[in-house]
Amino acid sequence: MSQTILVTGGAGYIGSHTAVALTERGHNVVIVDNLDNSSIGAIETIRRLTGKEIPFHEVDLLDSDALGAVFDEHPIESVIHFAGLKAVGESVEKPLSYYQTNLISTMNLLQQMENHHVWQLVFSSSATVYGDPEILPIPESAKTGPTNPYGQTKLMIEDICRDVAAADDRWQISLLRYFNPVGAHPSGDLGEDPQGIPNNLVPFVMQVAVGRREQVNVFGNDWDTSDGTGVRDYIHVLDLASGHLAALENIEAGCDVFNLGTGNGSSVLDVIKTTEHVSGQAVPFEIIERREGDIATSLADPRKANDKLAWRADRNLEVMLADSWHWQSRHPNGYAESES
Ligand code: NAD
Ligand code: WQD
């Protein structure tokens, strides 16, 4: 059944792809974002791709009254909450800013939902809550232990949601722990547009392939993995978007948590080689020292989401990187087309 869904952080990378998928499924989407890490160009692209004049409010979730006004204006029935700060290194340097933004925005959101009798919430958590995993692949029941303030905010928000749902049985909350989102919309017009030097591997590799940067620095080849480089569970952002639809469609009373991953691991060298293959461009790299805080392998056990949400991530690494390359090659400077 068609719903009116508030998407916080809907101008961002994952939110924008999910906003398109929700609209294509017939839902009415309302977006709020303060454009702190995104651009109005993403909103324009969402509108163009869907052919819908999707309402957008430039609102900071730290401003609870402004957020409340959005609930007053639209008949919102459920919320998907992407908005927040997400850079691990920055969170170590500016922990207060991360705790302030991620925790207070979420508490404002939960309060406004309660005030407006909106009880369905899907929240962007992260595999980062597992820290250095003891079991591979990682089930939702694994021990948590984030190793940085960003990861702590995700776990604290999960706990807040669990407490809120336990106190009032009208709440229906799904916490989604994403593994490593990559890829882009097949149109090549919606994608990941990091500000400054990318922290994550795939955007960095794409900028090397397109000629914006000289080489990829590979953070160590002495890890306990098949080729010595770090292994991750990359997941296509479209599979992630469909995971949010599945989570909403199967949401139940209380608060439940799901891994969203493929269950397949790829090394840094797999990513580099596959990018060379799909782009036809050379991707020079150099092995350097390990990055502080990194782990050897992160791999989801996605069976709970497969079974309970009837959802599966189907797209393989080649499709993910081909779509990332399509976006990067059409928009070498992201949404800021005029930049050099
Ligand atoms: P993103 O930065 O592209 O999107 C987040 C959006 O939230 C941005 O558009 C930003 O402007 C907005 N925002 C930030 N603070 C805000 C505030 N106070 N008020 C209103 N809007 C605000 O990030 P993304 O990769 O799309 O990630 C979306 C969510 O998924 C985040 O919560 C992130 O922590 C989580 N997540 C991301 C990854 C990843 O690797 N991309 C992995 C796991 C979890
Ligand atoms: C992947 C692999 C690196 C860059 C981070 C966050 C996590 C989540 C997703 C939000 C690792 C290697 C990387 C480079 C490299 N975000 N690498 N050279 O570290 O798994 O997860 O993003 O929730 O919280 O920690 O992803 O893309 O940074 O790294 O060799 O220039 O690539 O060592 O093995 P990571 P990543």
Q: Tens digit of pLDDT for each residue in 39-97?
A: 999 999 999 999 999 999 999 999 999 999 999 999 999 999 999 999 999 999 999 99
Q: Could you tell me the two tokens for 93? A: 């340097």
66 and 83 in contact (C-beta within 8 Å)? no
Cα-to-centroid distance, 180 and ligand 1 (Å): 13
Q: What global pTM score does this model have?
A: 0.98
Given this model, what pLDDT does residue 337 score? Answer: 67
Q: Is 304 helix (H, G, I), strand (E, B) or coil?
A: helix
Q: What is the CA radius of gyration of the chain?
A: 19
Which ligand is nearest to the Cα of residue 223, counting in written order? 2
Average pLDDT of the chain?
97
The closest residue, in CA terms, to atom 28 on ligand 2 is: 200
Cα-to-centroid distance, 82 and ligand 1 (Å): 5
Cα separation, 272 vs 123, in Å, equals: 31
Mutate to test the pocket of ligand 2, among 85, 86, 216, 268 (most ligand atoms within 8 A of CB): 268
Mutate to test the pocket of ligand 2, among 13, 82, 88, 227 (most ligand atoms within 8 A of CB): 88
Q: What is the percent of the chain with per-residue pLDDT over 70, rounded to a whole number? A: 99
Which atom of ligand 2 is found nearest the CA of 291? Answer: 33
Which ligand is nearest to the Cα of residue 63, counting in written order? 1
> Which H helix or E strand runs over 126?
strand 120-126
Cα separation, 11 vs 320, in Å, equals: 20
Cα-to-centroid distance, 46 and ligand 2 (Å): 27
Q: Is 141 exposed, middle or buried (0-12, 13-18, 19+ CB in 10 A)?
A: exposed
Cα-to-centroid distance, 230 and ligand 2 (Å): 9
What is the DSSP secondary structure assignment for residue 292, as one 8-state letter?
T
Q: What is the CATH number of the domain that holds 221?
A: 3.40.50.720
Task: With a cut of 80, say whether residue 339 has pLDDT above it.
Answer: no
Which atom of ligand 1 is found nearest the CA of 180? Answer: 40
Q: What is the mean pLDDT of residues 157-168?
A: 98
72 alpha-carbon distance from chain centroid? 27
Cα separation, 13 vs 180, in Å, equals: 13
Mutate to test the pocket of ligand 1, among 124, 148, 195 (most ligand atoms within 8 A of CB): 124
The closest residue, in CA terms, to atom 14 on ligand 2 is: 201
* Structural domain that includes position 209: 4-339
307 alpha-carbon distance from chain centroid? 22
21 and 45 in contact (C-beta within 8 Å)? no
Measured in residues, the chain has a length of 340
Cα-to-centroid distance, 86 and ligand 1 (Å): 6
Which CA distances in Å does 291 have to 27, 87, 201, 294? 42, 14, 12, 6
Q: Which residues are tagged catalytic?
A: 150
> How many domains would you assign to the chain?
1
Q: What is the pLDDT of residues 105-150, one digit of tens each?
A: 999 999 999 999 999 999 999 999 999 999 999 999 999 999 999 9
Cα-to-centroid distance, 83 and ligand 1 (Å): 5
**Phi–psi pair at 317, nearest 5 degrees:** -60, -35
Q: What is the mean pLDDT of residues 205-230?
A: 98
17 and 241 in contact (C-beta within 8 Å)? yes
Q: What is the pLDDT of residues 219-265, one digit of tens each?
A: 999 999 999 999 999 999 999 999 999 999 999 999 999 999 999 99
The closest residue, in CA terms, to atom 11 on ligand 2 is: 230
1 pLDDT tier (thresholds 50, 70, 90): confident
Protein residues whose CB sits closer than 6 Å to any atom of ligand 1 = 9, 11-15, 33-38, 60-62, 82-86, 101, 105, 124, 126, 178, 181
Q: Whose CA is closest to 211, among 273, 278, 282?
A: 282
